[in-house]
Amino acid sequence: MQNDPILTLKLPEGYSFADLKLRRCESDAIDMDMDLVKLVCKINGLNFDKVLQNPGPVVTTILTVWYKNHLSSGGDTHPVMQELIGPAKHLH
């Protein structure tokens, strides 16, 4: 069984996972506060315009790292994140 790679990312101070405003859209896609994603990109030296061309990997990393941090700090589970993770995986 393979372990998840260690993901590191600087998160903006003064913000919480809830500030991402993660939600499902009618098309079953996800939506979130892209201004906050832009801030995360900026503090991590990532080119936001390039990220927008293929957002999947960076957005996945942001969500994963931030959610793991959120849970480890005693935060409540988030229904959309739990759905994205799937029933067999836990981020504790």
In-domain check, residue 77: yes
pLDDT confidence of residue 7: 63
The 10s digit of each residue's pLDDT in 12-71 is: 999 999 999 999 998 888 999 999 999 999 999 999 999 999 999 999 999 999 999 999
Q: Could you tell me if residue 57 is inside a domain?
A: yes
CB 23 within 8 A of CB 31: yes
Most distant CA atoms of the chain, gap in Å: 37
| Domain residue limits at 31 | 17-85
Total domains, the chain: 1
Q: pLDDT value at position 87?
A: 67
Asked whether residue 51 is domain-assigned, the answer is: yes
Q: How far apart are CA 14 and CA 28, in angstroms?
A: 30
Whether 34 is in a domain gets the answer: yes
pTM score, whole prediction: 0.83
Residue 63 and residue 34 in contact, taking contact as beta carbons nearer than 8 Å: no
Contacts for 9 with CB less than 8 Å, ≥ 6 apart: 40, 44, 61, 62, 65, 66
